[in-house]
């Protein structure tokens, strides 16, 4: 089995990537034409990688389960993308972006990877602008910035509340250019169901054509998995309905180690659940915390009156409101990192201050910002005697310009006007920092098998900062993988085309077909969703915002029981050789049911609190996360040995040579 070598180059932090790039192997242009690369997923990471690899001259075969690469869930990212451009001249630098990311991740990420991310971040903005991404601009024509959680500078570039959409459409357009040139063969509505390993190297995949049901073999000299995170293990999350862990989990079962599965991000500002029929949760961008203030009533009687509909939030006077983030964290206020904000919301709601019927909601209020902007606009318009109504009118216009689509989205879902009454929000699963273990080259423990974007574990430690997911996806795809993959492929120039009529492909295809046959023929009693919902409840209740050993042990047991029940009693309607959405879901949920157990096992193993992983046994008297650097400053990389309970732990020690390990403080 593979050993855990992170392959971080030696030298000064600032020189590592530059020096490394100068020395790695290259593939000459004529040889690139003879090399095939498979890319699974076409979001920001996969889309940018596919376009760039094709642009370099490789033959790319790209796969997406949707009907177009443009529909990958990166499209839903709202707020922005970080880059250390320092355009506002507010003291930003590569080092600060690096430092904020390491600190925000609670010192559980790899220094060299994070520094490289900061180093290429500026390039991403240049690249996207030349692609025609319409970022927000100031009146002078230069790019505008805003601020996100966990930082003290404005380094976030944005395109209204649709930054992910615009960046993804940029990558999509770059893909289209390569599809037109024949350098990318695009397989829409295809799902990868296994990776094929030949002589220890990744050599291809088995995929299902989701329209015809046909099982297909595809070969390549390298396979890149960019299939996103596993947040849907909670059933309810801000992920798309189809977002799944199947590609990542399948490669794990074929030898790729899975790292830090318990590091999951619960985002503080999502629209609360309204009932049991709920199919997904909707995020309200973190950018709203630039202008929105989070609060709950100070008095329990006000809370009860609100729940009974006898009192409106706008009727509660200032002195009776508890702006609890500003109270607890005066330095960062409403812009503390996501894990801190989520836990603080849970703390207030657990104490009985939740403001909706379920008791699971807090207010996000824009009144102060509307008044502030309104006054500023009135002055700019020369209206020195503007009435209160006029000021609010002007202020609302500014808010609309900044967040209009988010406010509209909220109003459509909740049927309340957030300009007039505060939004209600509550934490929800959003992002997974954990994922497939990769070395500095973004290669997994299987040679020739790469993993990029949210699907890998590398850059965000135990908590991701806002606007950093887009940055990482594009950094991996545009600027990192295209270099590092060449180092591996330089040894493949004599290999020639990989045949698909070999026993390895036969075996992989047989296993895939057997599993699909099982689902269709099982004729069980319960739908796939029934099991997925049960799993989600266990995960949220016992492996969610706050965890403890007792609950985790119970969760492991319950997950096993659900999994056994699933394999006995799952019912999948329809047939194999047709468009069959129930069959698609069955495979995904089967994989979640295994991943969930490893997730809980990892959470149980990590006897400390850090970032999004909060163990109730390990906290300070003030209720803050208590890290244990002496025993847990490592990446937990799990090796699959037959079933999740038997996974073997490999530790990659995290060495901090360039930053000092500190207790994270946002006070």
Partner 1 sequence: MDLTLKIWRQKSPDSKGKMVDYKVTDISEHMSFLEMMDVLNEQLVAKNEEPVAFDHDCREGICGMCSMYINGEAHGPDRGITTCQLHMRMFNDGDTITIEPFRANAFPVVKDLVVDRTSFEKIQQAGGFISVNTMGRTTDANNILISKHDADEAMDAATCIGCGACVATCKNSSAMLFVSAKVSQFALLPQGRVEAADRVLNMIKQMDEEGFGNCTNTGACEVECPKGISLTNIARLNREYLKASL
| Residues with a known catalytic role | 338
Strands 59-63 and 184-187: parallel
Site track 108-127 with partner 1 (rule: CB under 8 A), x = hit: ------------x--x-xxx
Distance, in Å, from the CA atom of 455 to the CA atom of 192, rounded to the nearest integer, reads 14
Q: Quick one: which of 11, 39, 6 has its CA closest to 23?
A: 11
Residue 76 contacts partner 1 per CB under 8 A: yes
List the one residue from 166, 232, 287, 484 that touches partner 1 (CB under 8 A). Answer: 166
Compute CA 293 distance to the chain's CA centroid, rounded to the nearest angstrom.
Answer: 25
Number of residues forming the site for partner 1 (CB under 8 A) = 80
> Which 81-100 residues touch partner 1, going by CB under 8 A?
85, 87
Residue 160 contacts partner 1 per CB under 8 A: yes
Residue 531 contacts partner 1 per CB under 8 A: no
Instruction: Choose one: 169-177, 253-261, 496-504, 655-663; the region binding partner 1 (CB under 8 A).
Output: 169-177
Task: Tell the smallest beta-carbon distance from residue 148 to partner 1 (Å).
Answer: 19
Decide if 151 contacts 95 (C-beta within 8 A): no
| Beta pairing partners, 216 | 207
> Which 560-599 residues touch partner 1, going by CB under 8 A?
571, 573-574, 578-579, 581-582
- 238 vs 463, beta carbon nearer partner 1: 238
The count of C-alpha atoms lying within 13 angstroms of the C-alpha of 24, restricted to the half-sphere facing its C-beta, is: 24
Residue with tokens 């000299």: 221
> Which 233-272 residues touch partner 1, going by CB under 8 A?
240-242
List the one residue from 141, 317, 621, 653 that touches partner 1 (CB under 8 A). Answer: 141
Instruction: Choose one: 7-15, 61-69, 105-113, 261-269; the region binding partner 1 (CB under 8 A).
Output: 61-69
- 141 vs 317, beta carbon nearer partner 1: 141
> Which 171-190 residues touch partner 1, going by CB under 8 A?
172-174, 176-177, 179-180, 186, 188
List the one residue from 7, 33, 137, 357 that touches partner 1 (CB under 8 A). Answer: 137
> Interhelix angle for 44-56 vs 163-180, to 10°?
30
| Beta pairing partners, 198 | 201
Instruction: Choose one: 158-166, 193-201, 221-229, 619-627; the region binding partner 1 (CB under 8 A).
Output: 158-166
> Which 483-512 residues touch partner 1, going by CB under 8 A?
none
Angle at 632 between CA 627 and CA 636, to 5 degrees: 125
Q: Quick one: which of 659, 657, 637 has its CA closest to 648?
A: 637
Decide if 465 contacts 102 (C-beta within 8 A): no
Residue 491: C-alpha distances to residues 28, 32, 224, 593 (Å): 12, 12, 17, 38
List the one residue from 12, 138, 350, 541 that touches partner 1 (CB under 8 A). Answer: 138
Distance, in Å, from the CA atom of 550 to the CA atom of 136, rounded to the nearest integer, reads 49
List the one residue from 529, 565, 628, 629 that touches partner 1 (CB under 8 A). Answer: 529
| Beta pairing partners, 63 | 40, 187
Decide if 455 contacts 225 (C-beta within 8 A): yes
Residue 616 contacts partner 1 per CB under 8 A: no
| Beta pairing partners, 259 | 435, 637
Distance, in Å, from the CA atom of 192 to the CA atom of 205, rounded to the nearest integer, reads 7
Task: Tell the smallest beta-carbon distance from residue 487 to partner 1 (Å).
Answer: 16
List the one residue from 4, 8, 24, 136 that touches partner 1 (CB under 8 A). Answer: 136
Residue 380 contacts partner 1 per CB under 8 A: no
Residue 449 contacts partner 1 per CB under 8 A: no
Both tokens assigned to 187:
């397989």
- Per-residue DSSP letters for 148-208? -TT-SS--EE-STT-HHHHHHHHHHHHHHHHHHTTSEEEE-SEEEEEEEEETTEEEEEEEE
List the one residue from 139, 301, 503, 642 that touches partner 1 (CB under 8 A). Answer: 139
Residue 408 contacts partner 1 per CB under 8 A: yes
- 393 vs 582, beta carbon nearer partner 1: 582
Residue 383 contacts partner 1 per CB under 8 A: no
Q: Which helix (H) or strand (E) holds 259?
A: strand 258-259
Decide if 647 contacts 632 (C-beta within 8 A): no
List phi, psi (to 5°) of 651. -105, 130
> Which 202-231 residues touch partner 1, going by CB under 8 A?
211
The Cα diameter of the chain in Å comes to 82
Site track 454-483 with partner 1 (rule: CB under 8 A), x = hit: ------------------------xx--x-
- 39 vs 552, beta carbon nearer partner 1: 39
- 19 vs 573, beta carbon nearer partner 1: 573
- 258 vs 530, beta carbon nearer partner 1: 530
- 47 vs 104, beta carbon nearer partner 1: 47
Site track 269-308 with partner 1 (rule: CB under 8 A), x = hit: -----xx-xxxx-xx-------------------------
Q: Quick one: which of 489, 491, 453 has its CA closest to 469?
A: 453
């Amino acid at each position: 089995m593979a050993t855990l070598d992170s392959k971080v180059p030696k030298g000064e932090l600032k020189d590592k990537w530059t020096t490394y790039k100068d020395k790695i192997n290259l593939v000459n242009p004529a040889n690139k034409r003879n090399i095939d690369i498979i890319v699974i997923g076409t979001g920001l990471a996969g889309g940018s990688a596919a376009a760039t690899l094709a642009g370099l001259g490789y033959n790319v075969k790209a796969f997406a389960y949707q009907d177009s690469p443009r529909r990958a869930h990166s499209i839903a990212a709202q707020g922005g993308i970080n880059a250390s451009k320092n355009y506002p001249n507010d003291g930003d630098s590569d080092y600060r972006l690096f430092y904020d990311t390491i600190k925000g991740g609670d010192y559980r990420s790899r220094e060299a990877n994070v520094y490289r991310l900061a180093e290429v971040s500026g390039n991403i903005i240049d690249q996207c602008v030349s692609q025609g991404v319409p970022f927000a601009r100031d009146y002078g024509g230069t790019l505008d910035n805003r601020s996100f959680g966990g930082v003290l500078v404005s380094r976030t570039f944005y395109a209204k509340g649709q930054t992910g959409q615009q960046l993804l459409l940029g990558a999509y357009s770059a893909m289209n250019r390569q599809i037109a040139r024949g350098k990318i063969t695009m397989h829409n509505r295809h799902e990868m169901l296994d990776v094929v390993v030949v002589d220890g190297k990744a050599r291809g995949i088995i995929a299902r054509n989701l329209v015809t049901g046909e099982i297909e073999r595809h070969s390549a000299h390298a396979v890149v998995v960019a299939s996103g995170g596993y947040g849907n293990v909670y059933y309810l999350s801000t992920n798309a309905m189809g977002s799944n862990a199947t590609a990542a989990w399948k490669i794990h079962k074929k030898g790729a180690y899975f790292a830090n599965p318990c590091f999951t991000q619960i985002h503080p500002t999502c629209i609360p659940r309204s009932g049991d029929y709920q199919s997904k949760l909707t995020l309200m961008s973190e950018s709203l915390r630039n202008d929105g203030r989070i609060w709950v009533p100070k008095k329990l009687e006000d809370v009860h009156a609100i729940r009974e509909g006898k009192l409106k939030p706008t009727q509660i006077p200032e002195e009776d409101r508890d702006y609890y983030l500003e109270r607890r964290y005066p330095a960062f206020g409403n812009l503390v990192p996501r894990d801190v904000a989520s836990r603080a919301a849970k703390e207030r709601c657990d104490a009985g201050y939740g403001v909706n019927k379920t008791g699971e909601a807090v207010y996000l209020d824009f009144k102060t910002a509307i008044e502030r902007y309104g006054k500023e606009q009135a002055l700019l318009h020369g209206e020195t005697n503007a009435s209160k109504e006029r000021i609010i009118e002007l202020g609302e216009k500014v808010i609309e310009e900044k967040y209009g689509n988010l406010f509209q989205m909220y109003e459509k879902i909740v049927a309340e006007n957030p300009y007039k009454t505060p939004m209600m929000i509550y934490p929800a699963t959003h992002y997974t920092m954990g994922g497939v273990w990769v070395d500095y080259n973004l290669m997994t423990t299987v040679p020739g098998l790469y993993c990029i974007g949210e699907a890998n574990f590398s850059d965000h430690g135990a908590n991701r900062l806002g606007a950093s997911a887009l940055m990482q996806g594009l950094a991996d795809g545009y600027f990192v993988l295209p270099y590092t993959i060449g180092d591996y492929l330089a040894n493949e120039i004599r290999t020639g085309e990989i045949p698909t009529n070999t026993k390895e492909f036969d075996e992989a295809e047989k296993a895939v077909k057997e599993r699909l046959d099982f689902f269709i023929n099982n004729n069980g009693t319960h739908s796939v969703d029934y099991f997925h919902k049960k799993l989600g409840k266990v995960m949220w209740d016992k492996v969610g915002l706050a965890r403890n050993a007792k609950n985790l042990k119970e969760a492991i047991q319950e997950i096993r029981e659900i999994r056994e029940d699933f394999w006995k009693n799952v019912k999948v309607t329809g047939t194999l050789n047709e468009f069959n959405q129930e069959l698609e879901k069955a495979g995904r949920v089967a994989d979640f049911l295994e991943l969930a157990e490893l997730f809980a096992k990892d959470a149980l193993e990590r006897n400390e609190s850090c970032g999004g992983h909060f163990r109730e046994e390990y906290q300070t008297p003030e209720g803050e996360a208590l890290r244990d650097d002496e025993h847990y400053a490592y990446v937990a990389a799990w090796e699959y040995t037959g079933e999740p309970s038997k996974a073997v732990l490999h530790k990659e020690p995290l060495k901090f040579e360039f930053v000092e390990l500190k207790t994270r403080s946002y006070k």
